[in-house]
Structure 1
Amino acid sequence: MTRRGQVKGHAVDAEVEAFLGLRYAEPPFGAARRFAAPVPTDFAGDCLEFGPIAPQSARLPGAPVWRPGDEDVLTLNVWTPSTSDGPWPVLFYVHGGAYTFGSSAQPDYDGTALARAGLVVVTCNYRLGFEGFGHVEGRPDNRGLLDQRAALRWVLDNIAEFGGDPGNITVGGQSAGAASALFLAAWEPVRRVIAHSVPNRCYTRGFARRVAEWIDTGTPESTVASADALAAAQRTGPLSYDPVLFGPIADALPAVEVDALLCHTDVEYALFDAVGTFRPLADLRAFGRDWGIPDHVVAAYEHFEDAHVRLAGDFVFAEPTTRLAEANGRAFLARFTRPPAWHTADVPFSFGNLDEANFLIGGPAGDDERALSRRMLKAWVDFCTTGDPGWTGVRHWGDEVEARREPWRGVDLSVPVDYPVQAPAGRPTNRPGS
């Protein structure tokens, strides 16, 4: 078992200590471990910098990049109050990134401000893309979720040595991390869940098999490159708009059965439109049909200038998140409407990390932004501590929001993705016998 006395962290300031890059499982590479369940391990030594990130091609501002040869990717980080008071409530937070990119080393997820306010904060890296969520015959599916579960079990076993209360753990996340948090809350004995912008994206095994036909798994770098090529090849059909190929292979997201703090932003897909990953080239009705959205719902959005963006955001994130709150009598629900109010804009406010978030929050933070951040951060801390974020929660948002939600009544949003996959030009399939 890892003990605080066996690892060396550093003092962030007089109030917070950080332990970065603690290994919770063996490197998931080599013939025996690649595409296998994680192998838990103990770690002792210096914990002064973030560990390597999972294989990916993304280059995110302020975050490290993956380099071929980096293999020790299953690490976690702990921020803890420096005082001997406690035990402190624990927030175990899973980063987002479409199950394909991102890491716990992104500046958005620095746990210093939350630890200063009275939490022990843990973040982790996990396998992404095909390494974490691709289908490999004879190997377990959802390996990225299994990694997260191994990290959470490490927390349950060890967090008391860092001043945390293993009996008062909240799992949290945003986007892919939010959905991951729901799975973790269904599997492990945690007290609460924080989930911002929960996507309604699960995938059938048949879809995962179709994707796997075009992935070159010879090396981690060939796996990333072939997955990128496959995403780029989706020029027609449902995947042409937003080619997310990986995610949980499951019939549906699990229900929330613990106290929950849920949130979505007002115009989720505006972020993807701004960075060019959302490609709404078809007319709105064709777009809706491709994604399986009923015509009467699409018609309700035709008056918006940014109709594609609003329709996609409500379909994938806003309506599913709201329904989770409605189905749980112990859930608190928030909508983040401060412009730009797009996907991920809420994260820096909740973590108290505004200084390096100009793009996400739409510009430099001023007094109003810092006041909002203090309120959101306090709500997280209060919820993790007591189950009450300090406000009553909202079930009805007034005429504008209710009118936007009304067309969705009775529409099934839980159907897993089972789209056709368009083959990359000139690339041989990996189908057996081909």
Structure 2
Amino acid sequence: MTRSSTDAPVVHTASGPVRGFWRDAGAPTASAAFLGIPFAQPPTGPRRFAAPVPPEPWSEVRDATAYGATALRRDPGGTLIPEPPVVGDATLNVNVFTPTVEDDDALPVLVWIHGGGYTEGSPASPWYDGSRFNRDGVVTVSLSYRLGFDGFGHIDGAPDNRGVRDWIAGLEWVRANIAAFGGDPERVTIAGQSAGGGAVLTLLSMPSAQHLFHGALAVSAALADIPADVARARGERLAGVLEIAPTLEGFRSVSESRILKNQSKAVGGRKGLGLLSGLIEDGLPWGPVIDGELIPRPTVDALRDGIGSDKPLLLGATDDEFTMIADRAPRALRVVPSFALLRPALRDRAVRRAYLAANRPQRAKGSAAMVGRFVTDHVFRSLVVRVAEARRNADAETWVYAFSWVSPTKGWACHCLDVPFWFDGLDRERVADLAGPHPPQSLADDMHAAAVAFVGDGAPGWPAWRTEPGTARVFGGDGLQITTSAYDNALALV
């Protein structure tokens, strides 16, 4: 079968044949999509709260023209990225976008892991369609995983980190099958945004995952790194809310919907400014757990010790990931001085003064803006520096970027704003809500080209971090902007 074929494309995977569909059949930019291919059996019945199990093989051609079921069960509403839920039990699946299903030259592969704070998100977003990467010679895969307590909660008698095991199972599927879709299993780059970026760093730091990929792109990474004792306490707290024993039998006696309804009660269930303070005080409620086995050590410590040092890494963050939440602060709170608002989180006076001094321009915008910047630096931007510094002696290079283009609708270079630029998808559904009616295509051209270069050649096109510590490319204006100060205002928190 060739690109010019108008017949529906069929690919034979290790489990059985799948039928996808062409986009722009016969055109030079033709690509094929194969949606909802299972990489594991449905995590239901005896497989509920268990490690993923390989799918049962099939012999008849399986339809792969619609997104598979998602772990996201309801539309949370108000999300910045449109990530629709899809009903069904077979929630562990992949979507493959490829420029060809038959080619002499195996193409580099990008595997995308969606975000959503480890509790929400969906691989079925139109923003994650890989057609523009296909146009530029990159096979693209998006994968699903179990969310919230189902994927990451501690249960006596069940394996920890079930969501992480789903990532690994999905990547194992890619390694075994991607050649049939025109991809090179020896040139796989894992990528993701927010919790998906945290997933990338977690996998990069895991000894048992090193054979599954060859490069990593972490966009606004949010790490969980939940200590085992904290995970256990949260599981027991949820069991108390549900009035069951904190065991596998106890949790299996409760419906999925009831757990979803109550899982936030085990971790505070904060919203708005409460969400920001919760991130500072308690971290993310659910996510990868340092279980001592699958994840032996905290992520940055493992990277500093050389895990993943042979793999190139590109990472960065936006300037004001969560500042827009602080915009909704009550008027009375906005008149409280910044130093007073930050005192509970920055108890060390010297650190607090250094941080405020490094952020004078932001402080001049008001207390709410300063609190939003602090959360951005605490969760995202200081992590960029810590990871880059941890890999100073790595065999492979680390590249850093900063996204500074300000949304005309949100007023900040905010969380999720950069995703459609990376995918060169400014024309996609609801992008205008976040990026305005006329976002700069030249910026998308630059960012997408950097991602394609990194996935294809292992280098995005600017000096690496260790060339001079602090070196980063700033995406936000015209031309190639290289600086060594993009993350200076977060250094006091490192």
Partner of 1:179: 198
Equivalent pair of 1:96/1:177 in contact (CA under 8 Å): yes
Partner of 1:219: 255
Partner of 1:8: 19
Alignment of structure 1 residues 93-172 onto 2, 5 Å: 93-172=112-191
Q: Please state if 1:259 is matched with 2:312.
A: yes
1 or 2 for the larger relative contact order (CA 8 Å, sep ≥6)? 1
C-alpha distance after superposition, 1:81-116 (max 9, x if no partner): 137352000111111111000010112211111111
For residues 170 and 322 of structure 1, what CA distance do their matches in structure 2 show?
A: 21
For residues 348 and 86 of structure 2, what CA distance do their matches in structure 1 show?
A: 41
Residue correspondences, number: 401
Partner of 2:99: 81
Structure 1 pair 117/24, CA: closer, same or farther in 2 (3 Å)? Answer: same
Give % identity.
Answer: 34
Q: Please state if 1:297 is matched with 2:369.
A: no
Partner of 1:333: 400
Equivalent pair of 1:179/1:195 in contact (CA under 8 Å): yes
For residues 102 and 294 of structure 1, what CA distance do their matches in structure 2 show?
A: 36
For residues 402 and 106 of structure 2, what CA distance do their matches in structure 1 show?
A: 32
Match of 1:72 among 52, 65, 90: 90
Structure 1 pair 4/88, CA: closer, same or farther in 2 (3 Å)? Answer: farther
Per the alignment, in what secondary structure is the counterpart of residue 67 of structure 2?
coil
1:3 Cα deviation after fit: 5.4
Structure 1 pair 273/72, CA: closer, same or farther in 2 (3 Å)? Answer: farther
Structure 1 pair 406/101, CA: closer, same or farther in 2 (3 Å)? Answer: closer
Can you give the 5+ residue segments of structure 1 that lack an aligned partner in the other structure? 412-434
C-alpha distance after superposition, 1:275-325 (max 9, x if no partner): 89xxx9997567656556644333323851211111111111011112212
Can you give the 5+ residue segments of structure 2 that lack an aligned partner in the other structure? 1-11, 243-250, 291-296, 407-411, 472-482
For residues 268 and 175 of structure 2, what CA distance do their matches in structure 1 show?
A: 41
C-alpha distance after superposition, 1:22-59 (max 9, x if no partner): 000011111x2111100011465010011111044424
Partner of 1:419: none
Structure 1 pair 347/184, CA: closer, same or farther in 2 (3 Å)? Answer: same
1:163 Cα deviation after fit: 0.3
Partner of 2:229: 206
Structure 1 pair 287/316, CA: closer, same or farther in 2 (3 Å)? Answer: farther
Structure 1 pair 286/26, CA: closer, same or farther in 2 (3 Å)? Answer: farther
C-alpha distance after superposition, 1:60-90 (max 9, x if no partner): 56432255xx311001100001373520001
Equivalent pair of 1:90/1:121 in contact (CA under 8 Å): yes
For residues 149 and 233 of structure 1, what CA distance do their matches in structure 2 show?
A: 29
For residues 193 and 307 of structure 1, what CA distance do their matches in structure 2 show?
A: 31
Residue type matched to 2:85 in 1? V
Greater Cα radius of gyration, structure 1 or 2: 2
Residue type matched to 2:386 in 1? R
1:4 Cα deviation after fit: 10
Per the alignment, in what secondary structure is the counterpart of residue 151 of structure 1?
helix
For residues 292 and 137 of structure 1, what CA distance do their matches in structure 2 show?
A: 36
Equivalent pair of 2:14/2:176 in contact (CA under 8 Å): no
Residue type matched to 1:374 in 2? D
For residues 189 and 449 of structure 2, what CA distance do their matches in structure 1 show?
A: 15
Which is further off, 390-399 or 14-23? 390-399
Tell me the TM-score normalized by structure 1. 0.84
Partner of 1:380: 451
For residues 172 and 347 of structure 1, what CA distance do their matches in structure 2 show?
A: 11
Residue type matched to 1:376 in 2? M
Equivalent pair of 1:334/1:393 in contact (CA under 8 Å): no
Structure 1 pair 54/289, CA: closer, same or farther in 2 (3 Å)? Answer: farther
For residues 219 and 421 of structure 2, what CA distance do their matches in structure 1 show?
A: 12
For residues 51 and 436 of structure 2, what CA distance do their matches in structure 1 show?
A: 42
Q: Please state if 1:269 is matched with 2:269.
A: no
RMSD in angstroms over aligned alpha carbons? 2.9
Residue type matched to 1:13 in 2? D
Residue type matched to 1:33 in 2? R
Partner of 1:195: 218
Residue type matched to 1:245 in 2? P
For residues 111 and 361 of structure 1, what CA distance do their matches in structure 2 show?
A: 20
Residue type matched to 2:377 in 1? D
Tell me the TM-score normalized by structure 2. 0.74
